[in-house]
């Protein structure tokens, strides 16, 4: 029997969503090592009730403790594979892999893809189209950043995602003001405990590639890299951003023309090879511009809800969690998918600003035809902020429909049917 170590982080996918896929593995024992949330009691209850149901589970204080416990377990009982769906644990996986003799990407490769400025530097060196950017290491760099990039531009953290901590900058005074705000508010949600620098980058102007006006001017490409060979699974269309720059939803498969898809696949392949990603799933965001598609960012992980969209769109025939588990165990992995319908994920977010939720009601959303699963998250009394992007999501929803237009309309209907009363938070 083989043993698979599953590494979980409270900011990643919860065990109850992963376990059904791993239970399908033949002659494999799953050992779970997990880090609970310091604040989310509901999520922690999931860990208490679910971990241990398909194999032993070990709580870890932090990433360092996790490395220590996995290595210690391996000395007693051999671990054959390592898997995580939490980007913040990639370095821990790399450290563990080196200790127990499993092949995985080096910490340097992981750092280069997670740190946006290092990623951009590498892509630029390989002549892969990206937005112009300038790394701001401290306040003394602000004038030079403004001269090199100009306005309007975007101020972004080098560790982030989902619209976290992004400001539009229109003048030098605003750059100084928002940089001070970043330094005060920002928390590293990718590599906890590490400080982050910031980038000033050009504000890319999007162009229309989709026929449906409700779709955004960017997409994500979902890919598997196996033994240095890139296999593209699908392109995910995106619904339009919440203000200011917060993600709202994904749809798989894309409705783009094949010629557009082919160009996106070529660009993504070049980016993944440049970054030397291997034996992992990636999620590459790409913006449509008049100059051609440009890489927004490459993520060395599945897109947050990609596994469920692909599973639903393929009528359950393709299970990303299951295939990635096989990849980690050095078994044959399927990359062939037949899509039978459109599947989507949608999140709901607060208005721009900082708010306290007085009341929130999800019941009317149950009437929406395309809804497969609703996961209410926010509760009355909770503080939410647009600065935190999708970290402060109100609810998460999975939808599917054979009609693309019907599915898109239902996605936007969620925000109309979600009832929330807010009061300003100060």
- Give the model confidence (pLDDT) of 331-348 as tens digits: 999 999 999 999 999 999
Both tokens of 414, joined, read: 């969620």
| Torsion over CA: 396, 400, 401, 402 (sign) | positive
DSSP codes, 143-170:
HHHHHHH-SSEEEEESS--TTTT-EEE-
Distance CA(289)–CA(208), nearest Å, equals: 8
β-strands 371-376, 395-401 pairing? antiparallel
Residue of 114, 127, 122 whose CA lies nearest to 157? 114
- Determine the pLDDT at residue 246: 96
* Beta-carbon-side half-sphere exposure of residue 122 (alpha carbons within 13 Å): 22
The dihedrals phi and psi of 391, each to the nearest 5 degrees, come to -60, -30
Mean pLDDT across the chain, nearest whole number?
95
- Determine the pLDDT at residue 330: 95
- pLDDT for residue 40 is more than 90: no
- Give the model confidence (pLDDT) of 282-325 as tens digits: 999 999 999 999 999 999 999 989 999 999 999 999 999 999 99
Is the bond preceding 152 in cis, omega lying within 30 degrees of 0? Answer: yes
Let me know if domain 132-202 sits in CATH 2.40.128.20.
no
Give me the residue spans of the domains in the chain: 2-104, 105-128+205-340, 132-202, 341-426
Q: Which CATH number fits domain 341-426: 2.40.10.170, 3.40.50.720, 3.90.1170.50, 3.30.70.20?
A: 3.90.1170.50
- Give the model confidence (pLDDT) of 260-282 as tens digits: 999 999 999 999 999 999 999 99
- pLDDT for residue 182 is more than 90: yes
Class of 2-104 in CATH: alpha beta
- Determine the pLDDT at residue 90: 94
Output the 3-class SS for 47-79: HHHHCCCCCCEEECCCHHHHHHHHHHHHHHCCC
Q: What is the pTM of this model?
A: 0.95
The dihedrals phi and psi of 171, each to the nearest 5 degrees, come to -160, 170
- pLDDT for residue 84 is more than 90: yes
Q: Give the chain's end-to-end CA distance (angstroms, integer).
A: 56
Residue of 85, 244, 251, 250 whose CA lies nearest to 163? 244
In angstroms, the Cα distances linking 28 to 6, 31, 255 are 12, 10, 38
Let me know if domain 105-128+205-340 sits in CATH 3.30.470.20.
yes
Instruction: Among 11-15, 173-177, 250-254, name the one with the lowest average pLDDT.
Output: 11-15
In angstroms, the Cα distances linking 122 to 48, 171, 274, 297 are 42, 29, 7, 12
Q: What is the mean pLDDT of residues 10-36?
A: 94
């Amino acid at each position: 029997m083989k043993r698979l170590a599953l590494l979980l982080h409270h900011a990643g996918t919860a065990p109850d969503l992963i376990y059904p896929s791993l239970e399908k593995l033949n002659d494999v024992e799953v050992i779970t090592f997990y880090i609970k949330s310091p604040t989310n009691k509901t999520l922690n209850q999931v860990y208490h009730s679910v971990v241990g149901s398909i194999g032993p589970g070990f709580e870890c204080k932090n990433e360092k403790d996790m490395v220590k416990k996995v290595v210690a377990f391996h000395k007693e009982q051999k671990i054959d594979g390592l898997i995580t769906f939490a980007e913040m644990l990639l370095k821990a996986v790399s450290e563990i892999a080196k200790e127990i003799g499993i092949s995985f990407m080096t910490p340097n490769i992981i750092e280069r893809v997670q740190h946006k400025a290092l990623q951009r530097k590498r892509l630029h060196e390989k002549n892969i189209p990206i937005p112009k950017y300038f790394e701001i290491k401290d306040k003394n760099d602000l004038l030079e950043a403004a001269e090199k990039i100009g306005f309007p531009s975007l101020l972004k953290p080098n560790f982030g995602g989902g619209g976290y901590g992004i400001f539009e900058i229109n003048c030098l005074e605003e750059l100084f003001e928002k940089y001070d705000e970043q330094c005060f508010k920002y928390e590293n949600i990718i590599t906890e405990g590490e400080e982050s620098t910031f980038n000033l980058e050009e504000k890319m102007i999007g162009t229309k590639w989709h026929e449906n006006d409700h779709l955004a001017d960017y997409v994500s490409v979902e890919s598997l890299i196996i033994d240095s060979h890139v296999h593209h699974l699908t392109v995910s269309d995106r619904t339009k951003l919440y203000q200011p720059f917060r993600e709202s939803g994904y749809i798989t498969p894309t409705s783009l023309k094949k010629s557009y898809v082919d160009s996106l696949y070529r660009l993504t392949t070049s980016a993944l090879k440049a970054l030397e990603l291997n034996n992992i799933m990636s999620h590459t965001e790409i913006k449509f511009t008049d100059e051609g598609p440009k890489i927004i960012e490459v993520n060395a992980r599945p897109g947050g809800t990609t596994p469920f969209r692909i599973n639903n769109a393929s009528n359950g025939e393709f299970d990303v969690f299951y295939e990635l588990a096989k990849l980690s165990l050095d078994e044959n992995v399927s990359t062939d998918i037949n899509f039978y319908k459109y599947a989507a994920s949608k999140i709901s977010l607060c208005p721009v600003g900082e708010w306290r939720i007085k009341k929130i009601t999800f019941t009317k959303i149950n009437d929406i035809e395309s809804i497969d699963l609703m996961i209410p998250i926010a509760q009355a009394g909770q503080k939410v902020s647009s600065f935190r992007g999708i970290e402060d999501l109100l609810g998460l929803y999975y939808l599917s429909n054979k009609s693309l237009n019907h599915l898109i309309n239902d996605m936007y209907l969620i925000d109309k049917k979600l009832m929330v009363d807010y009061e300003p938070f100060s």
